[in-house]
Chain A
């Protein structure tokens, strides 16, 4: 069963929630789910723009750009705003940017190799000047937010889990806020952290298993 675009928008956000919450497998799951999709996206972009390299392999540039995009997200997940777009759409946009940088550098290097100085071809061929964001990826609507909340309702089993998941979806990171909402401020900070971690761990496990039960494609 293929994943529908709305499903993907929800799945991506849930994977992001898991990653930020500390799920130890989330980074691997995000890579496994999106690495090939991002490469395919850039290959289509390359074909559509009829880009090529004279000497180098453009597939290598594509792969490195995808790795740049994923690595950048992994090191700074807060740069992704799940209220604006799905994770896949964000990563596609990021990979396109990284591809353009690498490709432009590579074209310049090839031009330099051929003429002993670096000069970008400005006659129009091999141009990556446009914004390039697929408008379909940019579409965000209330349906996705609604689907995310509906999915969240199927994940929680207790009121405390509902509270914690709501804050996770809102990207709250302060234990004090969670502790206040859970009514556990009388406990020591260490106990508060442990309790919040336990609930987050239960939720991230349930999210991950739920996503695993659905086809990634």
Chain B
């Protein structure tokens, strides 16, 4: 996958304006409502709500910590959760679209998605295991060096995308051919 080619300047260099300030204010005012909707989406692996919920579990992090690691206001986390998970075939483009919508660094977003891809590709970890995503990645590399691909994409055989896990896939509004 070409997340390395994402150009943060393209997404972040848009001039600030009164409209952007109004948008920021709207993000803040509607954050609590967005959180309520996001909670309802957490079981759907095609959503960022699902990605963030897995990230929260794996990293034992709350929204405040996630906001810091993503470099955004905490009020925007629920709005990020409302977005769809980037599609494998349009990963770079989707990451940029989401980053532009939220007003954030696309590279930080891509990193979170990739980390969750890595963890969910490993299947269920034992209850109580709190080694974190990176530790889980190391475990995986040690267990199965033949198929571990540190530079690979989640669509490769080594690292499954969420749609290939045991989690039931919820139908998306997209192309009926893909249902």
Contact = CB atoms under 8 A, between A and B. Distances in A.
Interface residues of B, number: 39
Contact of B84 (A22, A32, A173): A22
A21 B94 CA distance: 12
A175 B97 CA distance: 23
Contact of B98 (A21, A25, A193): A25
Interface stretch (A63-71, A98-106, A156-164): A63-71
Interface residues of A, number: 40
Contacts, number: 105
B33 A63 contact: yes
A72 to B, nearest CB: 10
Q: Which residue among B22, B101, B172 has the maximum number of chain A CB atoms within 10 Å of its CB?
A: B101
Interface of A: 19-29, 31-32, 35-36, 63-64, 66-67, 70-71, 74, 77-78, 173-176, 189, 193-194, 196-198, 201, 204-205, 208, 215-216
27 contacts: A21-B174, A24-B83, A24-B84, A25-B97, A25-B98, A27-B47, A27-B83, A28-B34, A28-B80, A28-B101, A29-B101, A31-B34, A31-B37, A32-B79, A63-B33, A63-B36, A66-B33, A67-B37, A174-B176, A175-B175, A196-B175, A197-B89, A201-B90, A201-B94, A205-B93, A205-B97, A208-B101
